[in-house]
Amino acid sequence: MRAVPIRFLCAAAWMPLACLAAPQNAPPAQPTAPAPAPASQPDLEPEAVSALGAMGAYLRTLPAFEVVGRATTETVMDDGMKLQFDSTANLRVRRPDRLQVDVANDRKQRQIFYDGKSVTVYGQRLKYYATVAAPPTLRETVDALGTKYGIELPLADLFYWGTEQAPVSDIRAAHYIGPATVGSLQAGHYAYRQEGVDWQVWIQDGKTPLPLKLAITASGQPGEPTHTVWLRWNLAPRFTDATFSFRPPPGAMKIALQTADGKVASIK
């Protein structure tokens, strides 16, 4: 499941109809498959839909930004016990073709560098790194990392909100919950439902409708684990080209980055 829920595909929900009874004295009817009922109509509050669109439109106007995410992720054990794991992610973005990511949790520390021509993934604990050719834009690169290499970038949906790859038509329910405070910032609290996932977003009030907090519940999974992330934004970062370039530290070892089918290839 991706860090951000809006990209989940939604299927129509069908309910079987009761079988029709055969008329008295009529020959036995041949068994037929139950007919599906019409899909339930989406329950969309216009305010909640427009807030999501405004947030996506605003994010796409940002030429550069840095966002730090602090996350808590639940894992459900076989016996139903829930565990929580914390992680942090720092994204530095300069559109249209620069990205640098730091990810850290209890098990790994990883960095990703994208300079418009290549992507390097570096495991800081083992000091292994791999570099592959990359597409010329951020969104293409995010797609390629996920589909070819199974590398899911944290907060990847920041690059999709409000686009054709995250259509509002996937949402089955959208509600405005009310005003809220996230840290010291005033926000609106919104809740959404898609097939297999319920999610909430707290959007900053005013002229900078940034997502300040996300909560994603996998409603279709046993135990319904939740992933929650708090976001801190810097809209005036000071980046240089060196920010997005990888220089192997002493002792680092270059390895091949394999695709999901075990091949070594460019993601271009």
pLDDT in tens, the chain (268 residues): 333 333 322 222 212 212 212 233 334 444 444 544 455 788 999 999 999 999 999 999 999 999 999 999 999 999 999 999 999 999 999 999 999 999 999 889 999 999 999 999 999 999 999 999 999 999 899 999 988 988 888 887 777 775 656 667 789 999 999 999 999 999 999 999 999 999 999 999 999 999 999 999 999 899 999 999 999 999 999 999 999 999 999 999 999 988 867 665 554 4
In a domain, 93, yes or no: yes
- Half-sphere exposure (CA, 13 Å, Cβ side) for 59? 24
In a domain, 184, yes or no: yes
The model carries a pTM of 0.81
* The pLDDT of residue 41: 83
In a domain, 51, yes or no: no
Is 223 in contact with 81 (CB distance < 8 Å)?
no
Amino acid code (one letter) for 216: I
In a domain, 12, yes or no: no
In a domain, 103, yes or no: yes
State the CATH number of the domain containing residue 198. 2.50.20.10
The 10s digit of each residue's pLDDT in 209-242 is 999 999 999 998 999 999 999 999 999 999 999 9
In a domain, 266, yes or no: no
Write a three-state SS string for 50-70: HHHHHHHHHHCCCCEEEEEEE
- Half-sphere exposure (CA, 13 Å, Cβ side) for 240? 2
Q: Which two tokens stand for residue 134?
A: 């990359």
Is 143 in contact with 91 (CB distance < 8 Å)?
no
How many domains are contained in the chain? Answer: 1
The two beta strands, 82-94 and 211-217, are: unpaired
Q: Where are the beta strands (DSSP E) in the chain?
A: 43-44, 64-76, 82-94, 98-105, 109-114, 118-123, 128-133, 173-182, 185-194, 197-204, 211-217, 226-234, 253-254
In a domain, 14, yes or no: no
Q: In sequence order, what are the beta bridge partners of 230?
A: 70, 213
- Half-sphere exposure (CA, 13 Å, Cβ side) for 134? 29
The 10s digit of each residue's pLDDT in 146-191 is 889 888 888 877 777 756 566 677 899 999 999 999 999 999 999 9
Range of the domain at 211: 62-254
Distance CA 85, CA 225 (A): 12
In a domain, 113, yes or no: yes
